Amino acid sequence: MPRHSFGAHPRPARSAALVLALFLAAGCAAPPEREPWTPGPVFILGFDGLAPDLVDRFEGEGLLPNFSELRREGAVGRIRSTLPMISPPAWTSVVTGTSPGDHGVWGFWRPDGSGSLGAYVDATHRLAPAIWEDLTAAGRRVGVVNVPVSCPPDSVNGFMVAGFPYPQGAPLTWPPDLESRIVEDGYLRDAFGGPPAPGQEEAWLDRAWKIARARRRIGLGLLLDREPEFSFIVFTTPDRIQHHLWKFHDPKHPRYRPPASERLKSAVRDAYVWCDDVLGEVMAKLPDETTLLVLSDHGFGPAYLGISKERLLAQIADPGGAASSRNLFGGDFYLERDDDESRDRFAAALAAVTDESGASLVRAVHDTRAQKSRGWGAGLGPEIVAEEAEGYLFVPGEEGDSLVTSLSPTAFSGYHRRAGYFAARGSPIEPGAVRDCDLRDVPAIAMHILGEAIPRRYLHNLPRGLFPLEYFLKRPMSFAGEPRDGLRKPGEAAPRVDPAIEAQLRAIGYVQ
């Protein structure tokens, strides 16, 4: 898509006299509610790693009044993450409406064909257009803030503040002059300086909160002030805190320390309370005609013990051809032979892995080639993805390790779960429980509510319980284009090592 030269659109000023005149002209009546079949603006509020189980728990404890209000007035449920269930493919699926097999983003690295990690991933590796590109082409105004894997930013009709990771020398914003303004105002990138060493956790937490509060004040402030037709912001704070400070939240964790400060023990809870406060601000300030979508890219849970991937591969004894794993953590496996028999054999061997007591170490095993896709990204990803049993985390390890290992003091103490959080409120949403919802559904939902035709490249399902039964009789969904329109084949790989991205990944614990 050609790059556009549209600037940002500030929110028009409203004088008190004009507002009073309009109010009197309407006979002092309250403004009519938006009819459910009338298109309207969409605001997507993302919380990276927000776990539905913890939302339920903290709601039950009375700590999340705004999430409770959202449950009463909106549609709430769980949303399926991608495989692997890691932020780069997950958020890229949210913004493109496609699977990793189409958009080509499977993790923080992109294989280069040599068996090594390959290039670090950034937005230039995305093989499918983002929804904000589709909306820009349709002439709609958009505002995007801190969506992961969106740097370098696209030239949109509106404004964009790109999200982590940040390639060396890449601009942060579109239009370019927005960067100096928000940085001077205190906007901070996701840069933490490294995983917290024992005894340094509170200083690390101070940095995390400084980043979060600046993003809320400046990034969220831009969206609420300028009121684009489509808004999308992601807060990464809950993901970062749960990765590194879960051990203080969970008394069952092997590294739980009773003498730790109450601030560290409550850090996970406080992150959810802060997200609730952000949600409350958004619900209070959004115009009545705006539909709000709230979601996370995956859930979270404890990481008590490690499963050594090197020892595991040696133990399986190569049943499906030589295998490797590219992500530092998690169960992604790349097979030397990509055929049905090899994948079946490897998957069966993984599913049968147990600890010394005979308890299973693997919750589920997935063949990624079974995922529906129409593009050219499937060959860039792992053939097999395994979900660990509760409390375990796949780690690199060494062949001489025990299969089950303790985690290092700076390793993640919490890690991803596949079920994320989803909620929606406003016309035409039907309050109640949402079922069968997937990250890929989000762009189609947003496009339809906005009144735009849904590109046929979007792989979407209609979540049950989200709309009234009679809604589509009044306003049927419309579609445009062909399934492969806009999808690209992989091009040349980015430079093998991007020092800036490597430093960022090392800072949050994805590189050791």
400 in Cβ contact with 416 (< 8 Å): no
**pLDDT score, position 31:** 44
User: In this structure, how many other beta carbons lie within 10 angstroms of the beta carbon of residue 280?
Assistant: 16
Q: Which of 21, 16, 40, 14 is nearest to 293 (CA)?
A: 40
Question: Percentage of the chain with pLDDT > 70?
Answer: 89
Q: Is the pLDDT of residue 66 over 50?
A: yes
Residue 113: the pLDDT is: 52
Residue range 447-474, pLDDT digits in tens: 999 999 999 999 998 888 999 988 988 8
Question: Which of 247, 252, 260 shows the shortest CA–CA distance to 410?
Answer: 247
Three-state DSSP class for residue 289: coil
Query: Do 282 and 220 form a contact (C-beta atoms < 8 A)?
Result: yes
Q: What is the pLDDT of residue 16?
A: 39
pLDDT value for 398:
76
% of the chain with per-residue pLDDT over 90: 73
**What is the residue whose two structure tokens read 């593009």?**
375
How far apart (Å, rounded) are the C-alpha atoms in residues 149 and 431?
Answer: 32
For the cut 50, the answer to whether the pLDDT of residue 29 exceeds it is no
Average pLDDT of every residue of the chain: 89
Mean pLDDT over 406-412 rounds to: 89
Can you tell me the distance from the alpha carbon of 291 to that of 471, in angstroms, rounded to the nearest whole number?
15
pLDDT at 301 over 80: yes
Mean pLDDT (whole number) for 32-55: 88
Range name among 26-30, 191-195, 301-305 with the lowest pLDDT average: 26-30
Position 26 scores a pLDDT of 39
Q: Which of 67-76, 83-92, 487-496 has the lowest mean pLDDT?
A: 487-496
| pLDDT (tens digit per residue) in 147-196 | 999 999 999 999 999 999 999 999 999 999 999 999 999 999 987 777 89
3-class state of residue 150 by DSSP: coil
Average the pLDDT over 363-383 and give the result: 92
How many residues are recorded in the chain?
A: 512
Q: Is the model's pLDDT at 3 over the cut of 60?
A: no
Using alpha carbons only, give the angle 307, 120, 144 rounded to the nearest 5 degrees. Answer: 105
User: Quick check: 265 and 15 in contact, CB under 8 A?
Assistant: no
- Closest listed residue to residue 278, CA positions, set 42, 43, 91: 43
- What pLDDT does residue 238 have? 97
Confirm if 111 and 118 have CB atoms less than 8 A apart.
yes
- For position 417, what pLDDT does the model report? 97
Tokens of 126: 């995305």
Q: Which of 76, 70, 87 is nearest to 52 (CA)?
A: 76
Q: Which residue has 């409120």 as its token pair? A: 425
pLDDT at site 13: 38
As given in the structure block, the two tokens for residue 391 are 């409390």
**Token pair recorded at residue 54:** 């913890």
Q: How many CB atoms lie within 10 A of CB 139?
A: 9
Closest CA to 510 of 329, 244, 308: 329
Q: What is the pLDDT of residues 464-500, one digit of tens each?
A: 899 998 898 889 999 999 999 999 999 855 555 677 8
Task: Say how far apart CA 286 and CA 426 lie, in whole Å.
Answer: 10
Q: Under 8 Å CB-to-CB from 25, ≥6 apart: which residues? A: none
The strand pair at 323-324 and 414-417 is best described as unpaired
pLDDT of residue 34: 62
Per-residue pLDDT band at 306 (split at 50, 70, 90): very high
* Lowest-confidence pick of 206-220, 305-319, 480-494, 496-510: 496-510
274 pLDDT higher than 60:
yes
Q: Token pair 């499906």 is at which residue?
A: 320
Question: Would you say 156 and 132 are in contact if contact means Cβ atoms under 8 Å apart?
Answer: yes
pTM, full prediction: 0.91
